[in-house]
Chain A
């Protein structure tokens, strides 16, 4: 005791001031093991602008909960009527997965609970209004009378506005119950993995049955470069994948590639990413890798990239017959470990197979469009969050502008379509100019 007293500073020198962490420590998001495989779906309110007549019943009933009187200006939901366009908008909190109001609050009065509801603790709120400014939909609403900030808390799971809307323009939902695209994709990936890695070992690189042959397009390019001859059969063998890409974009990357499947699995167990150095964040790198592979093959006389190709090594080295027999085994875990930096890092920045398919995708017949007008004023940006290659511009969506999806980068996993609760993400032919919610652009 005496010893402890001697090590402590004199009281006059001690700092007794409280900082924000003492007053209100950050709420740590709890994750359970099941969340990695089947993330919890939190409920939220979807607004259907085509049904809303602008009667304001939602404002009325909401205000009775907020201030115990009918005072539409004190509601947490606001109906805005565009008199020229004849459209009604309902502004209400979407309880975003990553709410911008939360870090904007200087007193940490805003918290996202385990139930997914973003709440304002009135005790800590200083009514500064920064959350209103930070929210792209301006969903926290400042009461013009009392200056209090009102924000939807989903009536703790039983929203009154939804019950009182005479047109059913508001629906309380947990999103799509069954995501059939997700189910199909995982099934396809699993079957492809089993076939290419476990059963038909090594068939991804080259496969021939009767007069039909199949070859990896990147391998074919290297083969041509190393041998200096163009074999028509070899080129036609590589065409299968290229034709698929012309018809359906880079569907192979999202639905078939066995290494992509491994990366998706690794992503499930490493949900937190440490980030990727900005100087390496160039999607052009993979085209450089492709050029290097072709150039190297020409110079050295053999297919240099195939030695370290993660898809090739996975298909060649991990089959039942060849398990633990090759030094190539280290390549897959080494490259899969990039997943802790960013989702599908390999596919985004380095994969030369993706580069060939990306170039072919310039001739694609289809595209993915996201109509920001259909989801405007909600800014749920779930599509941007689920995109494994990070090609959906969340900022544009927040501004209410439809982002342009670069189809050379899109792996056609269709997660955006599957996830969007507003049906704003669609597949269109490349010549179609209609965007959901906007008509023709």
Chain B
């Protein structure tokens, strides 16, 4: 019996935007057994398509009882890093993709007009999205909620991507993402405005032991990282993170978690600020979800106490805060920063990047909590199984075996799975992939 059967719909959605056609084909069982899923499986699928194809894929544990099983991985040839990249997309996108009836989604070709995909019940619809062009991200989402079929999650590009800005970043809902590798540019080049995930179906997973996740939670509950939670607990481990934390002062903070994550690493902040471009207006109150640790640390280094409104402005345009930080002057005023962001969107200046080679493979946005081999192994494991990499980096005591036991508890299965996992992780870092 295939141990992956209850973990996948065993379906790949293939969208040809040039021909405005979408079909759902069965997932190759052999390929799944060999690569398990996630980034490794995405790479294998990508080999079968043209170089400009995009693959969104889930891992076997995505949506399951495993903790932080929230991941969908986007794999593509990065226009910024000029190599294959795997970008993790979190919150609820992973489970919602699986519960929409497809495990992998291949997008090829270029749409004749701006389009958006709607996936649900194992069916894919290509809908026109011309009216969303150049619309700020929050407004575009509001518009989608009014006019499109119901959806649980949306991966969307902002007005910066519509203008072909290399500083752009894809946004999950209106919260931004860890995309620093140009996933958004690939989507924009295909005239793909976004992907809406209906998420109304389900999967049986390992229903014999739904309490398995709770048992694993007990193991990590004694860890100091389990108690120190929220965005700032991760931020302080980064270079300049402690200083950034001082500038992220807000009126109200609330820790938020991705799907089935017992230890939240995101924080929602509410703050009030005065827009210097409109002095007649009174202080306005805004709120945003902090999820991009590296982006925030980079931005705080430059803009210091002005970080929250500047970050909001980045999310509004769909810009990568880390890339924007590189262009901002140090010690400027709020007005100067806001004008600089407007200038980035209007002028599309050349983007430079100093992300190291390993971090580039996974999109450059996963925080370097651990270093060297340990970081690679943990992130590789997360990106294959479909578990949040930040969660696995924070809790190194969660072993490969503990995660694989969610797929099968039979000893012979576990041994095979362990071997397959090792070779799948190795395939991610193979010389061909790294080049």
**Chain A residues engaging chain B, CB cutoff 8 angstroms:** 50, 53-57, 60-61, 63-64, 67-74, 81, 83-88, 143-145, 163-164, 166
- Judging by beta carbons under 8 Å apart, are A60 and B260 in contact? yes
- The smallest beta-carbon distance between A80 and chain B, in angstroms, is 11
B92 touches A56 (CB 8 A): yes
Identify the B interface with A (CB < 8 A).
Answer: 63-65, 92, 95, 99, 121, 150, 152, 173-175, 198-205, 207, 210-211, 213-214, 217, 252, 254-264, 268-270, 287, 289
Q: Report B-chain residues with C-beta under 8 Å of the C-beta of A60.
A: 65, 260
Contact between B203 and A69 (Cβ–Cβ < 8 Å)? Answer: yes
Q: Does A86 lie within 8 Å of B99, measured CB to CB?
A: no
Identity of the chain A residue whose Cβ is nearest the Cβ of B95 in the assembled complex: A72
Known: A55-B258, A55-B264, A86-B287. A64 touches B121 (CB 8 A): no
Set B95, B200, B213: member contacting A144, Cβ < 8 A: B200
Residues of A within 8 A of B205 (CB): 69-70
Task: Point out the residue from A68, A73, A74, A166 that lies within 8 Å of B207, measured CB to CB.
Answer: A68
- CB-based contact A54/B203 at 8 Å: no
The A-B contact count (CB < 8 A) is 92
- List chain A residues, Cβ under 8 A from B287: 83-86
Chain A residue at minimal CB-CB distance from B174:
A83
> By the criterion CB–CB under 8 Å, are A71 and B262 in contact?
no
Inter-chain contact A166/B254, CB cutoff 8 Å = no
Choose among A50, A72, A143, A145 the residue with the greatest number of B CB atoms under 10 Å from its CB.
Answer: A72
> Given A85-B287, A166-B217, A74–B257 Cβ distance below 8 Å?
no
Cα distance A64–B63 when bound, in Å?
13
Cα distance, A68 to B263, chains bound together (Å): 26
- Known contacts A70-B65, A86-B252, A54 near B257 by CB under 8 Å: yes
A53, B264: Cβ atoms under 8 Å? yes
**Distance A83 CA – B268 CA, assembled complex (angstroms):** 8
Chain B residues whose C-beta falls within 8 Å of the C-beta of A145 in the assembled complex: 121, 200-201
Q: Please tell me which one of the listed residues B121, B202, B263, B270 contacts residue A85 in the complex, with CB atoms under 8 A apart.
A: B270
Tell which of A55, A69, A88 touches B259, judged by Cβ atoms closer than 8 Å: A55
Q: A53-B255, A85-B270 are known contacts. Are A71 and B99 too (CB-CB below 8 A)? A: yes
Q: How far in angstroms is the closest Cβ of chain B from A317?
A: 61
- Do the beta carbons of B202 and A73 come within 8 Å of each other? yes
12 example contacts (A-B, Cβ-Cβ < 8 A) are as follows A53-B261, A55-B257, A55-B260, A55-B262, A55-B264, A63-B202, A70-B202, A70-B207, A71-B99, A81-B256, A83-B174, A145-B200
**Cβ–Cβ contact B199 & A73, under 8 A:** yes
Q: Is the CB of B260 within 8 A of A53?
A: no
Residues of A within 8 A of B200 (CB): 71, 73, 143-145
B175 touches A72 (CB 8 A): no
- Closest approach, in angstroms, between the C-beta of B106 and any C-beta of chain A? 25
Q: CB-nearest residue of chain B relative to A66?
A: B202
Docked-complex contact B174 and A164, CB < 8 angstroms: no
Q: Please, which residues of chain A bring their CB within 8 A of the CB of B263?
A: 166
**Is there contact, CB below 8 Å, between B210 and A86?**
no
Which residue of the partner chain B has the closest CB to A49? B254
Q: Which 4 A-B pairs have the closest CB atoms?
A: A71-B202, A86-B268, A53-B257, A166-B262
- Residues on B with C-beta less than 8 A from A144 are 150, 198, 200
17 extra A-B contacts, CB within 8 A, seeds A53-B264, A86-B289: A53-B255, A53-B257, A54-B257, A68-B204, A71-B202, A73-B152, A81-B256, A83-B173, A83-B287, A83-B289, A84-B287, A86-B252, A86-B268, A86-B287, A87-B254, A144-B198, A145-B121
Q: In the complex, how many angstroms separate the beta carbon of B321 from the nearest chain A beta carbon?
A: 18
Which residues on A sit within 8 Å (CB–CB) of B268?
86
Verify A67–B202 contact, CB threshold 8 A. Answer: yes
Question: Contact at A72–B203, with CB atoms within 8 Å?
Answer: no
Contacts of A67 in B (CB 8 A): 202
Cα–Cα distance between A85 and B289 once the two chains are bound (Å): 10
Q: How far is the CA of A196 from the CA of B205 in the complex (A)?
A: 70
For B262, the chain A residues whose CB sits under 8 A away are 55, 57, 166
Across-interface contacts of B174 in A (CB, < 8 A): 83
Closest to B261 in A: A55
A86 partner, pick from B152, B256, B258, B259, beta carbons under 8 A = B256
Q: Measured between C-beta atoms, what is the minimum distance from B92 to chain A in Å? A: 7
Contact, CB under 8 Å: B257 / A70: no
Q: A437 to chain B: closest CB distance in Å?
A: 13
A360 CA / B261 CA spacing, docked (Å): 56
User: Chain B residue with minimal CB distance to A75?
Assistant: B202
**Min C-beta distance of A72 to chain B, whole Å:** 7
B64 to chain A, nearest CB (A): 7
A344 CB, min distance to chain B CBs, angstroms = 42
Give Cα distance in the complex from A87 to B253, angstroms: 10
Q: State the Cβ distance, B371 to closest chain A Cβ, in Å.
A: 28
Instruction: Give the distance to chain A from B428, nearest Cβ to Cβ, in Å.
Output: 27
Complex CA–CA separation, A99 to B95 (angstroms): 34
Residues of A within 8 A of B65 (CB): 60, 70
Pair B204/A86 contact, Cβ less than 8 Å: no
List, in ascending order, chain B residues with CB within 8 A of A83's CB.
173-175, 287, 289
Q: How far is the CB of B313 from chain A (nearest CB, A)?
A: 16
- Give the docked Cα–Cα distance between A67 and B210 (Å): 14
In the bound complex, residues from chain B placing their C-beta under 8 Å from that of A143 are 200
Cα–Cα distance between A74 and B152 once the two chains are bound (Å): 13
A74 to B200, CA, bound (A): 8
Within the complex, the shortest CB–CB distance from A239 to chain B, in Å, comes to 47
Least Cβ–Cβ distance between B273 and chain A, in angstroms:
15
Using Cβ atoms and an 8 Å threshold, which residues of chain B touch A86? 252, 254, 256, 268-270, 287, 289
